[in-house]
Structure 1
Amino acid sequence: MTSDDASFRQFVTRQWEPLNRTAFLLTRDRALAEDLVQSALEKTHRHWRRIERTDAPEVYTRRVMINTAISWRRRRKWAEVPLLPSDTGGVADPYRQADNRNLLLPALRRLPPRTQAILVLRYFEDLSEADIARVLGCSTGSVKSQASRGLARLRELLQREETTENARTTLLGGLA
């Protein structure tokens, strides 16, 4: 094993979980998320000697992953994937978390791919606006404005969904 292979293996070991988390939030499917991470790591490995010398190989890998996810999304429409019981984490009220996720993920999916990527990196991966700008190859101002517009659109979609859900509950209550 060469030193390049060893350093790449260490990189993969260190970044596997964060990359999988980001990929899942972008795809909403565990198997597709793992495929996305594998694809991004394969592309990263091809240029590892050059990338390793930079300050942030994880930025390069995330950028590859996001570009690949956008490319995949353009090629085909994804079907809705129901959440599995294992997708809910241990919190004080797991039903509330599942309900929130069931509302948030479809709303997030309705945003443009770049806006999705910005919101996932900012609020789920906790990257700074400057780091996101480096990952996506755009200005910090662009990240801020797209995040702001994306959050406003998410709020609008979630409020609309809440209104629809309240109407359904009222209608079903009247039928009982």
Structure 2
Amino acid sequence: MHEGLSFEEFASSRARKLFQVAYLMCGDWHQAQDLVQTTLAKLFAVWGRLQRGGQTVAIDAYARKALLRTYLSHRRLRRSGELAVAAIPDRPTGEHREGTELRLTLVAALRQLPPRGRAVVVLRYLEDYSIEAVAEALGTSVGAVKSLNTRSLARLRELLADDRELLFRK
């Protein structure tokens, strides 16, 4: 393991991955930046205790769990009825258009899932968590995660039904 890893080294090497996960969960660039900053601040506060274990893998898991809890906590606080939506960028041109369109389509569909459903999908399929690991991160049962995963994937299929050509283009 990486015993003696400084907080600055950890933050600089992991911030991009944390941002990707945060963005896919919240769907907003600025909110994702805020979530990562809040998560890193929480990690900094307990860094000495985390380092005593000397297990960088455990620190990575702790960081992802802190990010998830920060996101879910933020969502609970924002139940005012307002829904912040990031501006949709202009359609890209050139050789990367199809990949960008696919990404935008998937992110837009993810935004329409409830926060816990979005978190389950992102953790399962982006972070490659097991059902058990997702349940632990969410503080819920394996059965609840399976149910939420099934409902979330079914909803994504509904949302993406009109975009099947884009999704399966070769």
Q: In the alignment, does 2:22 pair up with 1:20?
A: no
Q: In the alignment, does 2:55 pair up with 1:50?
A: no
1:154 CA drift (Å): 1.0
When residues 125 and 83 of structure 1 are mapped into structure 2, their CA distance, relative to the original with a 3 A threshold, is farther
Which has the higher relative contact order, 1 or 2, with Cα contacts under 8 A spaced 6 or more apart?
2
Partner of 2:147: 145
Q: In the alignment, does 2:31 pair up with 1:29?
A: no
Partner of 2:85: 80
The one-letter code sitting in structure 1 at the alignment partner of 2:96 is P
Identity fraction in percent:
39
TM-score, reference length from structure 2: 0.73
Q: Does the CA-based 8 Å contact 2:131-2:146 persist in structure 1? A: yes
Q: Does the CA-based 8 Å contact 1:18-1:125 persist in structure 2? A: no
Cα deviations across residues 127-166 of structure 1 (Å, max 9, x unaligned)?
333333333233444333321221011112222xx29xxx
Structure 2 regions of 5+ residues with no counterpart?
164-170
Name the SS for the 2:140 alignment partner: coil
TM-score, reference length from structure 1: 0.71
The one-letter code sitting in structure 1 at the alignment partner of 2:97 is Y
Structure 1 regions of 5+ residues with no counterpart?
164-176
1:93 CA drift (Å): 5.6
Tell me, in whole angstroms, the C-alpha distance in 1 between the residues paired with 2:130 and 2:61: 12
Q: Does the CA-based 8 Å contact 1:122-1:129 persist in structure 2? A: yes
My pick for the range that moved more, 129-138 or 38-47, is 129-138
Runs of 4+ more than 4 Å apart: none
Tell me, in whole angstroms, the C-alpha distance in 1 between the residues paired with 2:30 and 2:96: 23
Partner of 1:174: none
Considering only aligned residues, what root-mean-square deviation do their CA atoms show, in Å?
2.9
